[in-house]
Amino acid sequence: MVGQAGRLAGRFIAVTGAAQGIGQAIAAEFRAEGADLFLLDIDGPSLEHAAAELTHLPGGALLHAAADIADADRVAQVFADAALAQGRHLDGLVNNAGVNVFHPPLQTDAAEWQRAFAINLEGAWSCARAVLPGMIAAGHGVILNIASTHSFTIIPGTFPYPVVKHALLGLTKSLALEYAAQGVRVNAIAPGYVATQKVLDWWDTQPDPAAARAATLALHPQGRIAEACEIARAATFMISDECPFMTATCLTIDGGLSQRQHA
């Protein structure tokens, strides 16, 4: 993590799912680049810890709130509170919070289907809806949705996750075209496997964790998976003013995985 030239100085950016993994890495990268931050996560204690770690780094304002993004009323309230506390509207949002829901289709019950959509899609829309009016009024703003290679490829047994991630790309493109003329850009990043705690935990649930890890790495042309900081660096570029003509676009970061046919 190396801040280059205060590339996000003067920006007020929200990051959801900021207590761990990709969200935490993005928050750290953004702070190093000079952004004022508003961090959200459903896990209050972990969010407090993540925020405390960031205070040791030089940077701008740092606000945070525990919130379940599936609760639209709570989302609207915490975003309004953050704008009031900072005395300005947010001009950046990273919709990173999400949950893995993997089942064969006919083994997916109604509750799991609803959970997948409530968090991964409706939650992202609730956060976007909270920041869009301020962005439109200001004539500029950037929303970045963390999608997945599941947004355009299918792995059997992972239903309904790819359904909702496909829908997240639809939300990205729809909002991008609706508000392009108002100066708002909306894009997505599609990571593949990333070395987060969720992936490490998944390997540990397998009968042979070492073999599961080796099999995952072998799928990738580079023989490794991404580090969270690699996703964070791409997020910095996409939410900065360095790509002002990029909107309705999804950047894939998977080491070539989605281009390789495999059994």
Kindly list the catalytic residues: 161
Give the number of other CB atoms < 10 A from CB of residue 43. Answer: 15
Work out whether the CA dihedral 166, 167, 168, 171 comes out positive or negative. Answer: positive
Q: What is the largest CA-CA distance in the chain?
A: 54
Tokens representing 48? 């407090």
Tokens representing 256? 């070539």
| Burial status of residue 73 (CB atoms within 10 A of its CB: 0-12, 13-18, 19 or more) | exposed
Which stretch of DSSP H or E encloses residue 203?
Answer: helix 197-205
**Measuring CA to CA, which residue among 24, 8, 26, 12 is closest to residue 232?**
26
Give the number of other CB atoms < 10 A from CB of residue 245. Answer: 6
Give the number of other CB atoms < 10 A from CB of residue 32. Answer: 21
